[in-house]
Amino acid sequence: MSHNYVTGFPRIGEQRELKKVLERFWSKETDFTEVEKVASELKVRHWNYQKEAGINFIASNDFSLYDNMLDTAVMLGAIPARFKGLEKEELYFAMARGNKDTVAMEMTKWFNTNYHYIVPELHSSDTYMLNAKKLINEYKEAKAQGITTKINIIGPITFLGLSKRIDRGDTYEFFGKIVPLYAQLITEIAALDEEVTVQIDEPIFVKDIEPKVLSLIKPCYETLCNAADNVNIIVTTYFEHANEATKVLVHTPVWGIGLDFLYGEKNKEVLEIVAKSGKKLIAGVLDGRNIWKNDIEATVSLLEEISQNISKRNLIVSTSCSLLHTPFTLKYEEKMDSEVKNWLSYAVEKLDELNLITKNFFEKTLTEDEKNALEANRSANESRRTSARIHDEAVQARVANITKYERDGVYEERIAIQHEALRYQPLATTTIGSFPQTPEVRKARREFKNGTIDERTYVKEMQHYIDECVAFQEECGLEVLVHGEPERNDMVEYFGEQLEGYGFSQNGWVQSYGSRCVKPPFIYGDISRPKPMTVEWITYAQSRTEKIMKGMLTGPVTILNWSFVRDDLPRSEVSKQIALAIRDEVNDLQQAGIKIIQVDEAAFKEGYPLRSSNIPSYESWAVRDFKIAVSSAHKETQIHTHMCYSEFNDIIRTIEAMDADVISIETARSGNELLRIFAEVGYKKEVGPGVYDIHSPRIPSVEEIIEQIKKLLEVLPKEQLWINPDCGLKTRKWEEVKPSLVNMVKAVQVVRKEL
């Protein structure tokens, strides 16, 4: 019997082998054969990990050299016209990354994860054609290793839903062109073996689904199932419930349905109808996007609950989603505290858990080894439940007794006092916080961490950077200065490292896009701040200038959204704990004489739930916690926030509710279009819409910025506007930053004279 199932496995490699070989290939240090060799070693290694762990359904085609959506576009021949003439890997990587003549395709977030996919571009003049080579070869590659895989495919409805039309129109208009190619694909797959299993991912079904899209499910899956009778089709969703779609799928000939019971608890509501349909249920019960050891007893009872409806014969135990969103293996975590490490489980360890769950649930009779493993699991979970490292009564008491949820004074009163105290002019100039991270700065940080330089030397280096940064800002005439953030590797990690309750990994890399990986810190326990985190740097910077030095913090929601978060407490509670730590920091900065404090919420929008019904609750605690974080600010202390995106239409009321005195945003690429919503809703607080795009190395001219400022002035009055770049400058070079900011200040001077 086949009882367990892995939705997908990470592919970058446990030593980031794929990343390394790709980057060497891109910089022409090696050739493509080397890339293929590494790729094939990784595939084999990953299949074997799963085989050795006793996994029955192992995926192929979950591998990709860059991204699976890109692979799907290539498979369907959806190649944008600008890439015509290129072929093979040259074409593939040009689509992903651009080349000297052509810009890359757009990239965007995969649902609510930190993975980014390439957005396919469709046009009505396209002719699509199937090329299933990659997928067929991967199946054969695995087969040659003695492993019969299930084949992973991104489904046609999700493919269309996530693509964009470059002519006017709706991507779903191409349903009739695309589905026949998928049917052809199923026939090609059918020829591979006597019986083949295919996992078709349709995560788009977990979003609020429009009737129009819902109506495509039945014809789509009837066509695909009828294309061959030896192909078992499983339709898989994850990250939320898919009840509307499931209710349709049970009336199609699909063989199985994959549902996420962790992030989509509501999937339980359709168990009865799934049971009636007699289809296989691939039950996602092992967390595929977190790093905590599974609680095997709890998971087995969840399965028992599910099996009250679904007969065990039809039940397959699975990860909640692809393990792509977790790091590889704990094997290389040599520095981690052993108590904390014992609470964790990365992808490879999750495989053994899945096996143990299956054994425990289906067989009940365990071998000695399995009994020991189960006992070890029980005791690890018990230790996590009771450890003093996790539970801090002082923090819990503080959270329970919050009485102050917002700052004193309404905006109108505060801003009047602030203008009196700060005396900045209309169109005040500032920056978002970071300045270029030079090789010297990175080196100093690294050496300090490794212990090769002492604290005094390190502090001197950083102060030297701050001195230069301040001197430059004064020289070019900026009005509100920043210290430049040289001491920060990352805006979340920097704070995490100084908070109790936070852990860090050495090798916990997770693919973010292409060859890029991130290593999110993890929150394992109650959060507290043993001592001030930024005050020394900021006050040092303030001591070097007569001008206003803006303090720089990361907000609670962003800290939360860019970390792995403990699963034994609601996110909203964890966020509240972080908010209190930031509140103390705001207060310390203000006591130390800092008059403006920016609390960045770069990832505020990322935390939005996939289902609109869950949005009000997220917004309410996210706003609550931002406000708690700044509630210690006196009326005269000006609070800024910054958000890294431009689309505010849906969330303008929420932004307003955050009640920051000034918000800086990213609208440089859209003229004044995206700012309009602020005027439309009568937004009264001050706004700093970025006047140039920092993501590009281009230096904007004075004229260009004048133009941009004038456009902004068509929408909001000068009293309400700040002038700044649209995000932090840390990824840029000084040669780009200096002239750009000089031009920005000059542009403001010109515009002010004309006003």
User: Annotated active-site positions, please?
Assistant: 695
- Restricted to residues 583-602, the positions that interact with ligand GLN (CB under 6 A) are 600, 602
Consult the annotation and say whether 718 binds a ligand: no
Smallest distance, ligand GLN to C-beta of residue 602, A: 4
Which residues are 290's β-sheet partners?
A: none
Smallest distance, Zn ion to C-beta of residue 699, A: 19
Name which of 484, 481, 508 is nearest 496 in CA terms.
508
Consult the annotation and say whether 464 binds a ligand: no
User: Which residue, 43 or 116, is less far from ligand GLN as judged by CB?
Assistant: 116
Q: Please identify, among the stretches 202-210, 466-474, 707-715, 725-733, the one whose residues bind ligand GLN according to the rule CB under 6 A.
A: 725-733
The total of other beta-carbon atoms located within 10 Å of residue 284's CB is 26
Smallest distance, Zn ion to C-beta of residue 83, A: 30
Name which of 628, 655, 631 is nearest 641 in CA terms.
655
- Restricted to residues 298-317, the positions that interact with ligand GLN (CB under 6 A) are none
Name which of 399, 291, 393 is nearest 621 in CA terms.
399
Smallest distance, Zn ion to C-beta of residue 727, A: 3
Consult the annotation and say whether 16 binds a ligand: yes
Q: Please identify, among the stretches 257-265, 410-418, 498-506, 724-732, the one whose residues bind ligand GLN according to the rule CB under 6 A.
A: 724-732
| Residue ranges of E strands in 287-386 | 315-319
By CB under 6 A, tell whether 727 contacts ligand GLN.
yes
Sorted by sequence, the CB contacts under 8 Å of residue 444 that are 6+ apart come out as 453, 457, 458, 461, 462
Residue type, 374: L
Consult the annotation and say whether 644 binds a ligand: yes
Consult the annotation and say whether 114 binds a ligand: yes
Consult the annotation and say whether 434 binds a ligand: yes
Smallest distance, Zn ion to C-beta of residue 640, A: 12
Token output for 484: 């430049």
Backbone angles phi, psi at 492, to 5 degrees: -100, -45
Distance CA 512, CA 518 (A): 6
The binder of 461, among Zn ion, ligand GLN, none, by C-beta within 5 to 8 A per type, is none
Sorted by sequence, the CB contacts under 8 Å of residue 421 that are 6+ apart come out as 595, 636
x-marked contacts with ligand GLN along 436-475 as a string, rule CB under 6 A? ----------------------------------------
x-marked contacts with ligand GLN along 619-658 as a string, rule CB under 6 A? -----------------------x-x--------------
The binder of 433, among ligand GLN, Zn ion, none, by C-beta within 5 to 8 A per type, is ligand GLN
User: Which residue, 134 or 732, is less far from Zn ion as judged by CB?
Assistant: 732
Query: How does DSSP classify residue 199?
Result: E
Interface pick for ligand GLN out of 261, 730, 732, 747 (rule CB under 6 A):
730
- Residues in binding contact with ligand GLN, number by CB under 6 A: 13
Q: What is the dihedral of CA 535, 537, 539, 545, to 10 degrees?
A: -160
Distance CA 519, CA 562 (A): 10
Q: Please identify, among the stretches 9-17, 154-162, 243-251, 427-435, the one whose residues bind ligand GLN according to the rule CB under 6 A.
A: 427-435
Consult the annotation and say whether 13 binds a ligand: no
Backbone angles phi, psi at 284, to 5 degrees: -75, 105
Give residues in contact with Zn ion (CB under 5 A). 602, 644, 727
Consult the annotation and say whether 123 binds a ligand: no
Cα four-point dihedral sign 709, 710, 715, 719? positive
The binder of 327, among Zn ion, ligand GLN, none, by C-beta within 5 to 8 A per type, is none
- Restricted to residues 193-222, the positions that interact with ligand GLN (CB under 6 A) are none
Distance CA 100, CA 208 (A): 40
Backbone angles phi, psi at 390, to 5 degrees: -100, -40
Name which of 475, 485, 466 is nearest 730 in CA terms.
485
Interface pick for ligand GLN out of 155, 156, 258, 433 (rule CB under 6 A):
433
By CB under 6 A, tell whether 740 contacts ligand GLN.
no
Interface pick for ligand GLN out of 434, 511, 515, 632 (rule CB under 6 A):
434
Smallest distance, ligand GLN to C-beta of residue 728, A: 2
The binder of 730, among ligand GLN, Zn ion, none, by C-beta within 5 to 8 A per type, is ligand GLN
User: Which residue, 267 or 429, is less far from ligand GLN as judged by CB?
Assistant: 429
Consult the annotation and say whether 600 binds a ligand: yes
The binder of 237, among Zn ion, ligand GLN, none, by C-beta within 5 to 8 A per type, is none
Distance CA 394, CA 401 (A): 11
Distance CA 360, CA 54 (A): 13
Backbone angles phi, psi at 549, to 5 degrees: -100, 125
Helix (H) or strand (E) holding 640: strand 638-642
Residue with the closest Cβ to ligand GLN?
A: 728
Residue type, 100: K
Yes or no: say if 116 and 107 are a contact pair by the CB < 8 Å rule: yes
Interface pick for ligand GLN out of 135, 234, 552, 751 (rule CB under 6 A):
552
Sorted by sequence, the CB contacts under 8 Å of residue 698 that are 6+ apart come out as 736
Yes or no: say if 517 and 492 are a contact pair by the CB < 8 Å rule: no
Yes or no: say if 570 and 518 are a contact pair by the CB < 8 Å rule: no
Residue type, 596: I
Report the interface residues with ligand GLN, using CB under 6 A.
Answer: 432-434, 485, 491, 552, 600, 602, 642, 644, 727-728, 730
* Residues in binding site: 16-19, 109, 114, 432-434, 485, 516-517, 562, 600, 606, 642, 644, 666, 727
* Residues in binding site for L-homocysteine: 432-434, 485, 600
* Residues in binding site for 5-methyltetrahydropteroyltri-L-glutamate: 16-19, 109, 114, 516-517, 562, 606
